[in-house]
Structure 1
Amino acid sequence: MASPSATLSLCSAFSAHCSVAPPRSLSKPSLSLARPTIGFLSTSAASTSRPAFPAAPKFAESAVVAEPETTDIEAVVVSEDKPKREEIFAVVMVGGRQYIVFPGRYLYTQRLKDANVDDQIVLNKVLLVGTKTHTYIGKPVVTNATVHAVVENQGLNDKVVVFKYKPKKKYRRNIGHRQPNTRIRITGITGYEEYPASPNVAV
Protein backbone atom coordinates (compact mmCIF):
# COMPACT_ATOMS: atom_id res chain seq x y z
CA MET A 1 0.00 0.00 0.00
CA ALA A 2 1.25 3.38 -1.08
CA SER A 3 2.24 5.86 1.51
CA PRO A 4 0.22 9.08 1.97
CA SER A 5 3.17 11.19 0.83
CA ALA A 6 3.35 9.37 -2.51
CA THR A 7 -0.38 9.78 -3.06
CA LEU A 8 -0.16 13.49 -2.32
CA SER A 9 2.68 13.99 -4.79
CA LEU A 10 0.79 12.08 -7.46
CA CYS A 11 -2.31 14.24 -6.98
CA SER A 12 -0.31 17.44 -7.16
CA ALA A 13 1.25 16.25 -10.43
CA PHE A 14 -2.16 15.59 -11.93
CA SER A 15 -3.51 18.92 -10.79
CA ALA A 16 -0.58 20.69 -12.42
CA HIS A 17 -1.34 19.14 -15.82
CA CYS A 18 -5.17 19.09 -15.72
CA SER A 19 -7.65 21.86 -15.02
CA VAL A 20 -11.05 20.91 -13.70
CA ALA A 21 -13.97 23.12 -14.85
CA PRO A 22 -16.49 24.20 -12.23
CA PRO A 23 -19.82 22.36 -12.29
CA ARG A 24 -22.57 23.80 -14.55
CA SER A 25 -25.46 25.53 -12.97
CA LEU A 26 -28.84 23.88 -13.35
CA SER A 27 -30.62 27.17 -13.96
CA LYS A 28 -33.06 27.56 -16.95
CA PRO A 29 -31.31 28.85 -20.08
CA SER A 30 -32.28 32.34 -21.18
CA LEU A 31 -33.95 32.87 -24.59
CA SER A 32 -32.07 35.25 -26.87
CA LEU A 33 -33.84 36.94 -29.80
CA ALA A 34 -30.66 38.16 -31.39
CA ARG A 35 -29.69 36.65 -34.77
CA PRO A 36 -27.14 33.91 -34.17
CA THR A 37 -23.78 34.38 -35.66
CA ILE A 38 -22.76 31.77 -38.19
CA GLY A 39 -19.44 30.25 -37.48
CA PHE A 40 -16.94 28.95 -39.97
CA LEU A 41 -17.70 25.28 -39.22
CA SER A 42 -21.40 25.67 -38.55
CA THR A 43 -23.73 23.23 -40.33
CA SER A 44 -26.39 25.89 -40.81
CA ALA A 45 -23.95 28.00 -42.80
CA ALA A 46 -23.79 25.44 -45.60
CA SER A 47 -27.58 25.10 -45.83
CA THR A 48 -28.80 28.71 -45.52
CA SER A 49 -26.06 30.86 -46.98
CA ARG A 50 -23.94 30.74 -50.10
CA PRO A 51 -20.27 31.47 -50.27
CA ALA A 52 -19.59 35.03 -51.23
CA PHE A 53 -17.92 35.26 -54.63
CA PRO A 54 -16.53 38.50 -55.98
CA ALA A 55 -18.89 40.25 -58.40
CA ALA A 56 -17.99 39.90 -62.06
CA PRO A 57 -16.75 43.17 -63.48
CA LYS A 58 -19.13 44.81 -65.90
CA PHE A 59 -17.75 45.57 -69.32
CA ALA A 60 -17.91 49.27 -69.91
CA GLU A 61 -18.48 50.69 -73.34
CA SER A 62 -15.12 52.32 -73.19
CA ALA A 63 -13.47 48.94 -72.79
CA VAL A 64 -14.34 47.96 -76.36
CA VAL A 65 -11.60 49.34 -78.52
CA ALA A 66 -12.60 49.89 -82.14
CA GLU A 67 -10.10 49.21 -84.83
CA PRO A 68 -8.72 52.39 -86.30
CA GLU A 69 -9.97 53.16 -89.76
CA THR A 70 -7.39 52.80 -92.44
CA THR A 71 -6.78 55.99 -94.30
CA ASP A 72 -4.49 54.51 -96.93
CA ILE A 73 -7.30 53.90 -99.43
CA GLU A 74 -10.13 56.39 -99.56
CA ALA A 75 -13.35 54.99 -100.97
CA VAL A 76 -15.17 57.57 -103.02
CA VAL A 77 -18.83 56.83 -103.81
CA VAL A 78 -19.87 58.52 -107.02
CA SER A 79 -23.62 58.95 -107.24
CA GLU A 80 -24.81 59.22 -110.77
CA ASP A 81 -27.72 61.63 -110.66
CA LYS A 82 -29.90 60.68 -113.55
CA PRO A 83 -32.18 63.44 -114.79
CA LYS A 84 -35.63 62.81 -113.39
CA ARG A 85 -38.38 62.69 -115.94
CA GLU A 86 -41.01 65.37 -115.66
CA GLU A 87 -44.04 64.34 -113.66
CA ILE A 88 -46.80 64.64 -116.21
CA PHE A 89 -50.03 62.89 -117.05
CA ALA A 90 -52.84 63.32 -119.55
CA VAL A 91 -56.45 62.33 -120.06
CA VAL A 92 -56.97 61.01 -123.57
CA MET A 93 -60.06 59.70 -125.34
CA VAL A 94 -59.74 56.48 -127.35
CA GLY A 95 -62.81 54.92 -128.95
CA GLY A 96 -65.30 56.90 -126.86
CA ARG A 97 -63.57 56.04 -123.56
CA GLN A 98 -61.33 58.22 -121.43
CA TYR A 99 -58.01 56.97 -120.04
CA ILE A 100 -55.40 58.52 -117.75
CA VAL A 101 -51.99 57.95 -119.30
CA PHE A 102 -48.43 58.40 -117.97
CA PRO A 103 -45.21 58.28 -119.98
CA GLY A 104 -43.57 54.88 -119.73
CA ARG A 105 -46.69 52.94 -118.74
CA TYR A 106 -48.82 50.64 -120.85
CA LEU A 107 -52.56 50.71 -121.46
CA TYR A 108 -55.18 48.28 -122.75
CA THR A 109 -57.71 49.81 -125.14
CA GLN A 110 -60.26 48.37 -127.51
CA ARG A 111 -58.93 46.94 -130.75
CA LEU A 112 -57.30 49.62 -132.90
CA LYS A 113 -57.93 48.85 -136.57
CA ASP A 114 -55.04 48.88 -139.03
CA ALA A 115 -52.52 48.94 -136.15
CA ASN A 116 -49.74 46.38 -136.20
CA VAL A 117 -47.22 45.49 -133.52
CA ASP A 118 -44.36 48.04 -133.11
CA ASP A 119 -46.31 50.74 -134.97
CA GLN A 120 -45.98 54.33 -133.77
CA ILE A 121 -49.39 55.95 -133.18
CA VAL A 122 -50.48 59.45 -132.19
CA LEU A 123 -53.53 60.19 -130.03
CA ASN A 124 -54.91 63.67 -130.68
CA LYS A 125 -58.00 63.79 -128.46
CA VAL A 126 -56.28 65.05 -125.32
CA LEU A 127 -58.78 66.41 -122.81
CA LEU A 128 -56.39 67.41 -120.02
CA VAL A 129 -52.67 67.67 -119.35
CA GLY A 130 -51.33 68.00 -115.82
CA THR A 131 -47.80 68.76 -114.67
CA LYS A 132 -46.25 69.44 -111.29
CA THR A 133 -46.96 73.17 -111.46
CA HIS A 134 -49.65 73.73 -114.11
CA THR A 135 -52.85 72.21 -115.42
CA TYR A 136 -54.00 72.47 -119.04
CA ILE A 137 -57.76 71.94 -119.30
CA GLY A 138 -59.17 71.48 -122.80
CA LYS A 139 -62.34 73.10 -124.13
CA PRO A 140 -63.13 70.37 -125.10
CA VAL A 141 -59.57 69.32 -126.11
CA VAL A 142 -56.11 70.79 -125.55
CA THR A 143 -55.11 72.12 -128.94
CA ASN A 144 -51.80 70.90 -130.42
CA ALA A 145 -51.40 68.40 -127.54
CA THR A 146 -50.53 64.89 -128.66
CA VAL A 147 -49.86 61.61 -126.89
CA HIS A 148 -47.27 59.38 -128.57
CA ALA A 149 -47.53 55.62 -128.13
CA VAL A 150 -46.29 52.36 -129.62
CA VAL A 151 -48.37 49.22 -130.21
CA GLU A 152 -47.05 46.28 -128.18
CA ASN A 153 -49.63 43.54 -128.66
CA GLN A 154 -52.95 42.69 -130.26
CA GLY A 155 -54.81 40.29 -127.99
CA LEU A 156 -58.09 39.30 -126.38
CA ASN A 157 -59.71 40.08 -123.05
CA ASP A 158 -60.66 37.39 -120.55
CA LYS A 159 -63.60 35.19 -121.50
CA VAL A 160 -67.06 36.41 -120.57
CA VAL A 161 -69.79 33.77 -120.24
CA VAL A 162 -73.17 34.74 -121.69
CA PHE A 163 -75.83 32.43 -120.28
CA LYS A 164 -79.45 32.63 -121.39
CA TYR A 165 -82.30 30.76 -119.72
CA LYS A 166 -86.08 30.76 -119.98
CA PRO A 167 -88.01 28.82 -117.37
CA LYS A 168 -90.54 26.15 -118.44
CA LYS A 169 -89.54 26.53 -122.09
CA LYS A 170 -86.54 24.18 -122.26
CA TYR A 171 -84.39 27.08 -123.48
CA ARG A 172 -80.74 27.40 -122.44
CA ARG A 173 -77.80 29.02 -124.21
CA ASN A 174 -74.23 29.12 -122.91
CA ILE A 175 -71.97 31.31 -125.03
CA GLY A 176 -68.43 32.52 -124.33
CA HIS A 177 -66.99 35.75 -125.73
CA ARG A 178 -63.52 37.34 -125.71
CA GLN A 179 -63.37 40.99 -126.72
CA PRO A 180 -60.33 41.91 -128.84
CA ASN A 181 -58.00 44.56 -127.35
CA THR A 182 -54.76 46.39 -128.06
CA ARG A 183 -51.91 46.97 -125.65
CA ILE A 184 -50.07 50.25 -126.19
CA ARG A 185 -47.20 51.86 -124.29
CA ILE A 186 -47.11 55.62 -123.83
CA THR A 187 -43.80 57.15 -124.91
CA GLY A 188 -44.41 60.88 -124.46
CA ILE A 189 -46.80 63.82 -124.17
CA THR A 190 -45.98 66.94 -126.20
CA GLY A 191 -47.49 70.09 -127.69
CA TYR A 192 -49.32 71.39 -124.63
CA GLU A 193 -46.93 74.24 -123.75
CA GLU A 194 -48.63 76.79 -126.01
CA TYR A 195 -52.07 76.21 -124.51
CA PRO A 196 -53.13 78.62 -121.72
CA ALA A 197 -52.51 76.98 -118.36
CA SER A 198 -53.89 77.47 -114.87
CA PRO A 199 -51.67 76.97 -111.83
CA ASN A 200 -52.32 73.96 -109.64
CA VAL A 201 -54.13 74.84 -106.41
CA ALA A 202 -53.24 72.68 -103.41
CA VAL A 203 -56.35 71.28 -101.78
Structure 2
Amino acid sequence: MAGVSLYSSPSFSVLCLAQKQKLHFSVSGDNQNVPFLSRSLASLRLNSSANPLPVCKPFVTRFSDSGSSVAESEPDSSVIKSELQSETLVSEPVKQEPKREELFAVVMVGSRQYIVFPGRFIYTQRLKGANVKDKIILNKVLLVGSKTSTWIGKPVVTNAAVHAVVEDQLLDDKVIVFKYKKKKHYRRKIGHRQPITRLRILSIAGYEDYPAVALSDIEPIK
Protein backbone atom coordinates (compact mmCIF):
# COMPACT_ATOMS: atom_id res chain seq x y z
CA MET A 1 0.00 0.00 0.00
CA ALA A 2 2.87 2.34 0.79
CA GLY A 3 4.38 1.68 -2.62
CA VAL A 4 1.12 2.47 -4.36
CA SER A 5 0.74 5.72 -2.47
CA LEU A 6 4.34 6.64 -3.39
CA TYR A 7 3.81 6.26 -7.15
CA SER A 8 0.50 8.03 -7.01
CA SER A 9 1.86 11.07 -5.18
CA PRO A 10 1.69 14.41 -7.05
CA SER A 11 5.37 15.21 -6.56
CA PHE A 12 6.47 12.00 -8.31
CA SER A 13 4.12 12.58 -11.22
CA VAL A 14 5.39 16.14 -11.65
CA LEU A 15 8.99 14.86 -11.73
CA CYS A 16 8.19 12.26 -14.39
CA LEU A 17 6.41 14.85 -16.53
CA ALA A 18 9.39 17.20 -16.35
CA GLN A 19 11.79 14.42 -17.44
CA LYS A 20 9.54 13.54 -20.40
CA GLN A 21 9.39 17.16 -21.53
CA LYS A 22 13.18 17.46 -21.27
CA LEU A 23 13.67 14.30 -23.32
CA HIS A 24 11.19 15.50 -25.95
CA PHE A 25 12.95 18.87 -26.16
CA SER A 26 16.37 17.25 -26.75
CA VAL A 27 15.03 14.94 -29.48
CA SER A 28 13.17 17.78 -31.21
CA GLY A 29 16.31 19.91 -31.15
CA ASP A 30 18.28 17.15 -32.78
CA ASN A 31 15.60 16.78 -35.44
CA GLN A 32 15.79 20.50 -36.27
CA ASN A 33 19.55 20.37 -36.72
CA VAL A 34 19.85 17.01 -38.58
CA PRO A 35 16.41 16.12 -40.01
CA PHE A 36 17.54 13.11 -42.13
CA LEU A 37 18.85 11.29 -39.05
CA SER A 38 15.69 11.68 -36.94
CA ARG A 39 13.78 8.78 -38.50
CA SER A 40 16.32 6.00 -38.23
CA LEU A 41 18.51 7.16 -35.36
CA ALA A 42 17.45 4.40 -33.01
CA SER A 43 17.65 1.76 -35.71
CA LEU A 44 21.14 2.88 -36.69
CA ARG A 45 22.34 2.67 -33.11
CA LEU A 46 20.83 -0.77 -32.67
CA ASN A 47 22.25 -2.06 -35.94
CA SER A 48 25.67 -0.66 -35.19
CA SER A 49 25.73 -2.31 -31.81
CA ALA A 50 24.32 -5.64 -33.02
CA ASN A 51 26.26 -6.00 -36.32
CA PRO A 52 29.66 -4.29 -36.11
CA LEU A 53 31.44 -3.48 -39.37
CA PRO A 54 34.14 -5.95 -40.44
CA VAL A 55 37.75 -4.98 -40.21
CA CYS A 56 39.35 -4.24 -43.59
CA LYS A 57 42.85 -5.39 -42.71
CA PRO A 58 42.54 -8.96 -44.12
CA PHE A 59 41.25 -7.60 -47.44
CA VAL A 60 44.14 -5.16 -47.67
CA THR A 61 46.68 -7.86 -46.91
CA ARG A 62 45.18 -10.23 -49.48
CA PHE A 63 45.16 -7.53 -52.11
CA SER A 64 48.78 -6.69 -51.39
CA ASP A 65 49.74 -10.36 -51.57
CA SER A 66 47.98 -10.81 -54.90
CA GLY A 67 49.61 -7.68 -56.27
CA SER A 68 53.04 -8.95 -55.29
CA SER A 69 52.34 -12.33 -56.88
CA VAL A 70 51.19 -10.68 -60.11
CA ALA A 71 54.28 -8.52 -60.10
CA GLU A 72 56.45 -11.58 -59.66
CA SER A 73 54.65 -13.53 -62.43
CA GLU A 74 55.02 -10.71 -64.98
CA PRO A 75 58.71 -10.26 -65.81
CA ASP A 76 60.13 -7.04 -67.07
CA SER A 77 60.01 -6.39 -70.82
CA SER A 78 63.69 -5.45 -70.87
CA VAL A 79 64.61 -8.87 -69.46
CA ILE A 80 62.56 -10.58 -72.19
CA LYS A 81 64.24 -8.53 -74.92
CA SER A 82 67.70 -9.33 -73.60
CA GLU A 83 66.89 -13.06 -73.50
CA LEU A 84 65.57 -12.98 -77.08
CA GLN A 85 68.69 -11.18 -78.27
CA SER A 86 70.92 -13.74 -76.57
CA GLU A 87 68.95 -16.58 -78.16
CA THR A 88 69.26 -15.04 -81.62
CA LEU A 89 72.99 -14.61 -81.16
CA VAL A 90 73.55 -18.15 -79.90
CA SER A 91 71.40 -19.85 -82.59
CA GLU A 92 73.49 -22.02 -84.89
CA PRO A 93 73.34 -21.57 -88.68
CA VAL A 94 71.17 -24.05 -90.58
CA LYS A 95 73.21 -26.73 -92.28
CA GLN A 96 72.13 -27.45 -95.85
CA GLU A 97 72.13 -31.12 -96.74
CA PRO A 98 73.99 -31.98 -99.93
CA LYS A 99 71.72 -32.74 -102.86
CA ARG A 100 71.84 -36.15 -104.48
CA GLU A 101 73.50 -36.54 -107.85
CA GLU A 102 71.28 -35.26 -110.64
CA LEU A 103 71.52 -38.37 -112.81
CA PHE A 104 68.93 -40.55 -114.51
CA ALA A 105 68.77 -43.31 -117.10
CA VAL A 106 66.27 -44.96 -119.41
CA VAL A 107 66.40 -48.77 -119.31
CA MET A 108 64.43 -51.49 -121.05
CA VAL A 109 63.09 -54.40 -118.99
CA GLY A 110 61.20 -56.94 -121.08
CA SER A 111 59.27 -54.89 -123.63
CA ARG A 112 58.85 -51.72 -121.55
CA GLN A 113 61.02 -48.69 -120.91
CA TYR A 114 61.51 -47.15 -117.46
CA ILE A 115 63.11 -43.91 -116.24
CA VAL A 116 65.24 -44.74 -113.20
CA PHE A 117 66.97 -42.60 -110.56
CA PRO A 118 69.52 -43.77 -107.98
CA GLY A 119 67.83 -44.39 -104.64
CA ARG A 120 64.31 -44.85 -106.03
CA PHE A 121 62.38 -48.01 -106.91
CA ILE A 122 60.33 -49.21 -109.88
CA TYR A 123 57.77 -51.94 -110.50
CA THR A 124 58.46 -54.25 -113.44
CA GLN A 125 56.98 -57.44 -114.76
CA ARG A 126 57.83 -60.61 -112.85
CA LEU A 127 61.51 -61.51 -113.21
CA LYS A 128 61.69 -65.29 -113.23
CA GLY A 129 64.38 -66.87 -111.09
CA ALA A 130 65.00 -63.67 -109.07
CA ASN A 131 64.73 -63.90 -105.30
CA VAL A 132 64.43 -61.18 -102.69
CA LYS A 133 67.72 -59.32 -101.95
CA ASP A 134 69.30 -60.57 -105.17
CA LYS A 135 71.45 -58.01 -107.01
CA ILE A 136 70.91 -57.70 -110.74
CA ILE A 137 72.41 -55.62 -113.55
CA LEU A 138 70.29 -54.02 -116.28
CA ASN A 139 72.39 -53.73 -119.45
CA LYS A 140 69.85 -52.32 -121.91
CA VAL A 141 70.49 -48.66 -121.14
CA LEU A 142 69.01 -46.48 -123.88
CA LEU A 143 69.93 -43.07 -122.45
CA VAL A 144 71.84 -41.50 -119.57
CA GLY A 145 71.35 -37.87 -118.59
CA SER A 146 72.76 -35.42 -116.08
CA LYS A 147 72.34 -31.74 -115.36
CA THR A 148 74.87 -30.64 -117.99
CA SER A 149 75.18 -33.39 -120.61
CA THR A 150 73.39 -36.39 -122.13
CA TRP A 151 74.56 -39.78 -123.40
CA ILE A 152 72.26 -41.04 -126.13
CA GLY A 153 72.50 -44.71 -127.14
CA LYS A 154 72.44 -45.97 -130.72
CA PRO A 155 70.41 -47.99 -129.79
CA VAL A 156 72.06 -48.54 -126.38
CA VAL A 157 74.84 -46.83 -124.43
CA THR A 158 77.77 -49.22 -124.58
CA ASN A 159 79.28 -50.41 -121.29
CA ALA A 160 76.53 -48.59 -119.34
CA ALA A 161 74.79 -50.57 -116.61
CA VAL A 162 72.17 -49.94 -113.96
CA HIS A 163 72.74 -51.80 -110.68
CA ALA A 164 69.61 -52.76 -108.72
CA VAL A 165 68.44 -55.09 -105.97
CA VAL A 166 65.22 -57.10 -105.77
CA GLU A 167 63.13 -55.83 -102.87
CA ASP A 168 59.94 -57.86 -103.24
CA GLN A 169 58.02 -60.30 -105.42
CA LEU A 170 54.35 -59.39 -105.15
CA LEU A 171 51.03 -59.14 -106.97
CA ASP A 172 49.60 -56.03 -108.58
CA ASP A 173 46.18 -54.59 -107.76
CA LYS A 174 43.20 -56.70 -108.75
CA VAL A 175 41.64 -56.10 -112.16
CA ILE A 176 38.01 -57.14 -112.68
CA VAL A 177 37.19 -58.82 -116.02
CA PHE A 178 33.45 -59.00 -116.75
CA LYS A 179 32.07 -60.91 -119.73
CA TYR A 180 28.48 -60.66 -120.96
CA LYS A 181 26.46 -61.97 -123.88
CA LYS A 182 22.98 -60.65 -124.47
CA LYS A 183 20.02 -63.03 -124.83
CA LYS A 184 22.25 -65.98 -123.88
CA HIS A 185 22.18 -65.76 -120.07
CA TYR A 186 25.98 -65.61 -120.11
CA ARG A 187 27.78 -63.55 -117.46
CA ARG A 188 31.27 -64.03 -116.08
CA LYS A 189 33.11 -61.93 -113.48
CA ILE A 190 36.79 -62.78 -113.10
CA GLY A 191 39.44 -61.06 -110.94
CA HIS A 192 43.12 -61.06 -111.94
CA ARG A 193 46.29 -59.93 -110.13
CA GLN A 194 49.41 -59.65 -112.26
CA PRO A 195 52.68 -60.83 -110.59
CA ILE A 196 55.28 -58.04 -110.50
CA THR A 197 58.76 -57.33 -109.08
CA ARG A 198 59.93 -54.26 -107.17
CA LEU A 199 63.50 -53.15 -107.89
CA ARG A 200 65.53 -50.65 -105.88
CA ILE A 201 67.98 -48.71 -108.08
CA LEU A 202 71.45 -48.53 -106.52
CA SER A 203 73.68 -46.78 -109.06
CA ILE A 204 74.28 -45.96 -112.73
CA ALA A 205 77.80 -46.58 -114.01
CA GLY A 206 79.86 -47.31 -117.14
CA TYR A 207 78.61 -44.43 -119.27
CA GLU A 208 81.64 -42.13 -118.83
CA ASP A 209 83.59 -43.49 -121.83
CA TYR A 210 80.65 -43.11 -124.19
CA PRO A 211 80.60 -39.85 -126.23
CA ALA A 212 78.36 -37.30 -124.56
CA VAL A 213 76.21 -34.65 -126.16
CA ALA A 214 76.16 -31.20 -124.55
CA LEU A 215 73.70 -28.42 -125.16
CA SER A 216 76.35 -26.38 -126.97
CA ASP A 217 76.90 -29.22 -129.46
CA ILE A 218 73.28 -29.29 -130.57
CA GLU A 219 72.72 -27.19 -133.69
CA PRO A 220 69.55 -25.09 -133.69
CA ILE A 221 66.85 -26.11 -136.16
CA LYS A 222 66.63 -23.67 -139.07
Q: Counterpart in 2 of 1:192?
A: 207
Q: Counterpart in 2 of 1:160?
A: 175
Q: Give structure 1 regions of 4+ aligned residues with deviation exceeding 2 angstroms.
A: 64-71, 74-85, 200-203
Q: Does 1:118 align with 2:133?
A: yes
Of structures 1 and 2, the one scoring higher in RCO (CA 8 A, sep 6+) is 1
Q: Counterpart in 2 of 1:148?
A: 163
**Structure 2: runs of 5 or more not aligned:** 1-76
Q: Provide Cα deviations, 1:36-83, integer angstroms capped at 9, x if missing partner.
A: xxxxxxxxxxxxxxxxxxxxxxxxxxxx86844677xx7372655554
Q: Which amino acid aligns with 1:131?
A: S
How many residues in Structure 1 have an aligned counterpart in Structure 2?
A: 140
Q: Does 1:94 align with 2:109?
A: yes
Q: Which amino acid aligns with 2:136?
A: I
Q: Provide Cα deviations, 1:102-150, integer angstroms capped at 9, x if missing partner.
A: 1111100000111111111110000000001100000000001100111
Structural mapping, 1:26-41, within 5 Å: none
CA distance in 2, matches of 1:67, 1:156: 61
Q: Counterpart in 1 of 2:50?
A: none
Tell me how far 1:85 sits from its aligned partner.
2.5
> TM-score if structure 1 supplies the norm length?
0.61
Structure having the larger proportion of residues in helix:
2
Tell me how far 1:200 sits from its aligned partner.
3.4
CA distance in 2, matches of 1:171, 1:97: 36
CA distance in 2, matches of 1:161, 1:83: 46
**Structure 1: runs of 5 or more not aligned:** 1-63
Q: Counterpart in 1 of 2:145?
A: 130
Tell me how far 1:153 sits from its aligned partner.
0.6
Q: Which amino acid aligns with 2:126?
A: R
Q: Counterpart in 2 of 1:180?
A: 195
Q: Does 1:77 align with 2:77?
A: no
